[in-house]
A = this chain, B = another copy of it.
Amino acid sequence: MGSVDRECEVVVVGAGFAGLAAARRLAADGVDVVVVEARERVGGRSWTDTTAAGATVERGGQWIGPTQHRLQALADELGVVTFPTYTAGQAVEWRDGARHLYSGLVPTSDPAAAAEGVAAILDLDLAAFEVPLDAPWTAAGAADLDATTLGGWLTDHVGAPAARAVIDVAVKAVFGAEPAELSLLFALFYLHAGGGLTTLARTTGGAQERRFVGGSQQLAVGMAAALGDRVVLSAPVEAVDHGDDHVVVAARRSDGAGWRARARRAVVAMPPAVSAQLRWSPPLPGVRDQLSMRMPMGAVTKVHALYDRPFWRDDGLNGQLVSDEGALCSTFDDSPPDGSHGAIVGFVAGDDCRRLERLGPAARRQAVLAELGRAFGQQAAAPLELVEQHWPAEVHTRGGPVAICVPGTFGALGPALREPVGPIHWAGTETATEWCGYMEGALSSGERAAAEVSSALGRGGGHGDGHP
């Protein structure tokens, strides 16, 4: 089977927030750990980049909100400071081919529809809070909830097209998926895990409340720096051989050379649809594979439009858009804290993301610019730079922002999500019970997997909540 390049106690596959959090917790327990990462960078779905003109853009996760305590503690530890998302002024609603302005969470140009939309969101959140986070499949009526799509529920419960459009926008921006794709049971779990759709959709007081000066990827870079040469980059794992008490992961370096690590345990910190692509020997249990096939990645293209200044603020606009037509379903002001240039970040999500991929990059760009122009004025249609991050083309993630559960999955297969397979333990934000799908959930999932492994190795344990 060839030689082994690295012997260690635990190998972590994936240097996103989950894998790095697992590794640092294991290292703190005195465990000899190695992290193997496919990309030439750490961070996974957190990726802070610099444009040709020198602007900082977040190609992946970028916000932090209330109750994301692990993420805040990590930022504090690393000296990364946050600043509030710009929210002063009004947002733009594009509905039925016309432009309206509004304040608050929900567009109000059709007040009756707005009221119906708010009522439906509150109904969803109330139902979500009844779904147990650690075992959603035990919820009352779980089988019926799991046989229903969120889209089907909305069709039955929301009559006004304008109300439905606003909820669709929120769902698409949160999941990168159409309501019709989502198991209602899974959607309720996910909403509960993040404090409800009201919290997930909000800037101030919600999931988009603040940003990191210098970008979220710094947190991954900081964790990796402390791990030093325990992090091996540019080594996509292709195969995992395992027995009761050993794991060998085989990667291929960019020069084509093989690279192998042998350990007693592994933490696989990848979305299920990605880990299922590895060659497993022995094969994963059929149940695990069945689950992986039923947790597809969402589809999102994250778009950054950069300008010399945030000119929309002069018009009393906060850079937010909710649109029922076109490429972008929603946008936010993404300018740097000092306002030294202007930036709008927007999401092309779900079927729009897939439809525009099929039409090609030029058509997508044209659709995005047209939409920015009609929302924020013709100046917005001519940015200095337009940076598009099309996550479905990222082979090491296969989409974004998160994996969803399709109907009929969570009930019978849910328990397999975190259940170890021999010496293999599972991390990744998809396995989190709080802030599933977010950087906070990734951190908690890594810590949970590390605790499993430390316990199995007879190490560590007794970490209090205050553990760094």
Interface flag for A16 (CB, 8 Å): no
Interface flag for A346 (CB, 8 Å): no
What are the residues of chain B within 8 A of A290 when measuring CB–CB? 296-297, 299, 354, 392, 399
What are the residues of chain B within 8 A of A149 when measuring CB–CB? 147-149, 152, 407-408
What are the residues of chain B within 8 A of A467 when measuring CB–CB? none
Interface flag for A293 (CB, 8 Å): yes
Stretch at the interface among A115-123, A199-207, A369-377, A409-417: A409-417
Known A-B contacts A277-B277, A406-B406, A412-B351; A180 and B287 likewise in contact (beta carbons under 8 Å):
no
- A408 pairs with B277, CB closer than 8 A: no
Known A-B contacts A147-B152, A276-B277, A351-B411; A393 and B286 likewise in contact (beta carbons under 8 Å):
yes
What are the residues of chain B within 8 A of A180 when measuring CB–CB? 143, 146-147, 407-408, 411
Interface flag for A357 (CB, 8 Å): yes
Interface flag for A285 (CB, 8 Å): yes
Which residues 137-163 of A sit at the B interface, judged by CB distance below 8 A?
A: 143-144, 146-149, 151-152, 155
- A287 pairs with B409, CB closer than 8 A: no
Q: How far is the CA of A399 from the CA of B299 in the complex (A)?
A: 25
What are the residues of chain B within 8 A of A461 when measuring CB–CB? none
What are the residues of chain B within 8 A of A406 when measuring CB–CB? 181, 294, 296, 406-407
Nearest CB of chain B from residue A364's CB, rounded to whole Å: 12
- CB-CB nearest in chain B for A352: B412
Across the interface, A144 reaches (CB within 8 A) one of B146, B155, B276, namely B155
Interface size grouping (class) on chain A: 35 or more
Nearest CB of chain B from residue A404's CB, rounded to whole Å: 9
What are the residues of chain B within 8 A of A368 when measuring CB–CB? none
Interface flag for A273 (CB, 8 Å): yes
What are the residues of chain B within 8 A of A351 when measuring CB–CB? 411-412
Interface flag for A6 (CB, 8 Å): no
Nearest CB of chain B from residue A292's CB, rounded to whole Å: 9
- CB-CB nearest in chain B for A283: B395
Known A-B contacts A276-B277, A296-B294; A147 and B354 likewise in contact (beta carbons under 8 Å):
no
> Residues 355-391 of chain A: 1 if any B CB is under 8 Å from the residue's CB, otherwise 0?
1011000000000000000000000000000000011
What are the residues of chain B within 8 A of A144 when measuring CB–CB? 155
Known A-B contacts A151-B407, A181-B408, A408-B181; A286 and B392 likewise in contact (beta carbons under 8 Å):
yes
Interface flag for A289 (CB, 8 Å): yes
- B143 pairs with A148, CB closer than 8 A: no
25 contacts between A and B (CB under 8 A): A147-B149, A147-B179, A149-B408, A151-B408, A152-B152, A178-B412, A179-B408, A273-B293, A280-B395, A283-B393, A285-B357, A286-B299, A286-B390, A286-B399, A287-B354, A287-B357, A287-B358, A289-B398, A289-B399, A290-B296, A290-B392, A351-B411, A354-B412, A358-B416, A406-B406
What is A's interface to B at a CB cutoff of 8 Å? Answer: 143-144, 146-149, 151-152, 155, 177-182, 238, 273, 276-277, 279-280, 283, 285-287, 289-290, 293-294, 296-297, 299, 351, 354-355, 357-358, 390-393, 395, 398-399, 406-409, 411-413, 416
- Inter-chain pairs besides A143-B180, A351-B412, A355-B412, 15 sampled, C-beta below 8 Å: A148-B152, A177-B408, A178-B412, A180-B407, A181-B406, A181-B407, A286-B391, A289-B399, A290-B299, A290-B399, A293-B293, A293-B297, A293-B399, A294-B296, A351-B411
